[in-house]
Structure 1
Amino acid sequence: MKFDRFAQWLANRSGRPASFVIALMLIIAWGVSGPLFHFNDTWQLVINTSTTIITFLMVFLIQNTQNRDNDELHIKIDELLRTTQRAHKALLDLEDMGPAELHALRKQYQQLGEHDQAAPGNDAPAKDTLD
């Protein structure tokens, strides 16, 4: 749990405009320092290594926050499906379906959407064919 809190805190901080400005200023300072170091290999290695390390760590941070957001979204949608009378309760377990089952279900919903579009002015809910 400590990592989750830290990752969320760091993600919130790194996504702010001030963080972008700080990163931009560091890159400008690095660029301006080039003549001082005669644009040598060590000078270039500093920016390459720094950006590689930061990128490597940010991948894990972004994945952690993405997983958390995804879980939160699934819980909210599951609750909406659970409390909606006409919702198909089978949709609560989509993550347990295989790719073929998901593809077939998506086709069924596309057909429902096409049926709804084909009936303009029809304010009544479309008859579900998934039952």
Structure 2
Amino acid sequence: MRSFFRVLSDRTATIVGSPWAFVATAVVTLAWLAVGPWCGYSDTWQLTMNTAASQVTFLIAFLLQSTQNRDTRALHLKLDELLRTHQGARRQLIKLEEWSDADLEALRHDFERLRDARGRGGPAG
């Protein structure tokens, strides 16, 4: 089941992110608008598009989130491997994504102090 869902979410993300998906959505929307006068802009006409759009959005949100979660996990593993193998890297930064918000904020302040100590204050502003 998990493998099927992974394949489904990957393919959905690829399709939904393509220019063809945008074109198809635009065509469906224009067709729906063109049918409006014929239906007298009835409540059913509006409800049809409203319901379809809501359901598609709801389902795609879960599929895209699944893909995003997997990509994020893979990225973290790659970064952890770089930290593990790079001489001089702080090994405690491995699994940084599991730190508390307070610990992350403290680390951000440490990096700001390092940046300021080196005289790299960023762009003038």
Q: Same fold, TM exceeding 0.5?
A: yes
Contact 2:12–2:64 under 8 Å retained in 1 = no
Look up the equivalent residue of 2:100 and give its one-letter code. G
Write out per-residue CA displacement over residues 87-121 of structure 1, whole angstroms, 9 at most, x where no aligned residue: 000000213321111111111011111222359xx
Per-residue deviation at 1:49? 0.3
Per the alignment, residue 51 of structure 2 pairs with 49
**Which residue among 15, 18, 21 is the counterpart of 2:20?**
18
| 2:80 alignment partner in structure 1 | 78
Give me the whole-angstrom Cα distance separating, in 1, the residues matched to 2:98 and 2:60.
29
Farther-moved stretch of structure 1 (57-66 vs 21-30): 57-66
- Provide the residue aligned with 1:129 in structure 2: none
Aligned length: 119
After superposition, the Cα gap between the structure-2 partners of 1:71 and 1:118, relative to the gap in structure 1 and judged at 3 Å, is: closer
- Residues 86-125 of structure 1: pairs in structure 2 closer than 5 A: 86-118=88-120
The runs of 5 or more residues in structure 1 that have no matched partner are 120-131
Highest RCO, 1 vs 2 (Cα 8 Å, sep ≥ 6)? 2
So what's the TM-score if we normalise by structure 2?
Answer: 0.89
Over 2 Å off, 4+ runs: 116-119
Query: Residue type matched to 1:91 in 2?
Result: L
Q: Deviations over 1:5-63 (max 9, x none)?
A: 11001110110001110010000000000011111010000110011001111110121
Percent identity between the two aligned chains: 40
Equivalent AA in structure 2 for residue 81 of structure 1: L
CA RMSD of aligned residues (A): 1.4
Gaps of 5+ in 2: none
CA 1:78–1:2 in structure 2 vs 1: closer, same or farther (change >3 Å)? same
